[in-house]
């Protein structure tokens, strides 16, 4: 094999220069490292309830401890599930036309920086902002005659 003008010998060529008692068997790369990625499973009701109880009880100080108590999820999964869905302070009420206008305005100003845009909204997660923006975008693409105000479905 040639790389940048240098010849790279194969493994079998290198083994010719080793004493026979030092040759080790190297496992096949295809069988050792080609594993299927873990399956992504949705949070179930029991997991949501357990996560809610752990976080509300404040028995854990950080997300790694929460994940350890959960046993089935990592810290990132627990944090994102809480911040985007389970936090009782998150608003799930219908969006007002003023919120829609503010969302469109801030998107034009900052682009898809959802965490930054979320600072301008009270108790709306960055994930809900992103989802709402794409709903508005689809509505506007279907009805280009509608102006900047789009009412909720």
Q: Is 23 inside a domain boundary?
A: yes
Q: How confident is the model at residue 121, as a pLDDT?
A: 94
- Domain membership flag for residue 148: no
**Contact assessment for residue 145 and residue 151, using Cβ atoms and an 8 Å cutoff:** no
Q: Is residue 147 part of a domain?
A: no
In the predicted structure, residue 153 carries a pLDDT above the cut 50: no
The secondary structure of residue 2, as a DSSP letter, is: E
Residue 75 lies in a domain: yes
Q: What is the span of the domain harbouring residue 132?
A: 97-142
Tell me the pLDDT tens digit for each residue of 116-143.
999 999 999 999 999 999 999 999 888 8
- pLDDT of 26 reads 56
Better-predicted residue by pLDDT, 2 or 144: 144
Tokens describing residue 149: 């105000």
CATH number at 51 reads: 1.10.10
Residue 116 belongs to some domain of the structure: yes
* Number of domains comprising the chain: 3
Q: Measured between alpha carbons, how far is 82 from 67 in angstroms, rounded to an integer?
A: 12
CATH of residue 120: 1.10.10.60
In a domain? residue 123: yes
- Bigger pLDDT: 39 vs 153: 39
Phi, psi of 101 (to 5 degrees): -65, -45
Residue 11 has pLDDT above 80, yes or no: no
pTM of the model: 0.61
- Please indicate, yes or no, whether residues 80 and 102 belong to a single structural domain of this protein: no
Does the residue 115 lie in any domain? yes
Q: Give phi and psi for 82, each to the nearest 5.
A: -65, -50
């Amino acid at each position: 094999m040639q790389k940048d003008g240098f010849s790279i010998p194969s493994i079998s060529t290198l083994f010719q220069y080793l004493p026979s008692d030092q040759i080790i068997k190297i496992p096949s790369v295809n069988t050792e490292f080609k594993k299927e990625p873990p399956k992504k499973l949705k949070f179930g009701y029991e997991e949501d309830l357990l996560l809610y109880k752990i976080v509300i009880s404040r028995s854990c100080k950080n997300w790694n401890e929460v994940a350890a108590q959960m046993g089935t999820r990592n810290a990132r999964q627990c944090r994102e599930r809480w911040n985007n869905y389970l936090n009782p302070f998150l608003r799930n009420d219908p969006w007002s036309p003023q919120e829609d206008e503010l969302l469109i305005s801030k998107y034009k100003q900052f682009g898809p920086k959802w965490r930054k845009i979320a600072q301008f909204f009270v108790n709306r997660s960055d994930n809900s902002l992103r989802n709402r923006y794409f709903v508005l975008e689809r509505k506007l693409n279907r009805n280009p005659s509608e102006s900047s105000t789009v009412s909720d479905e």
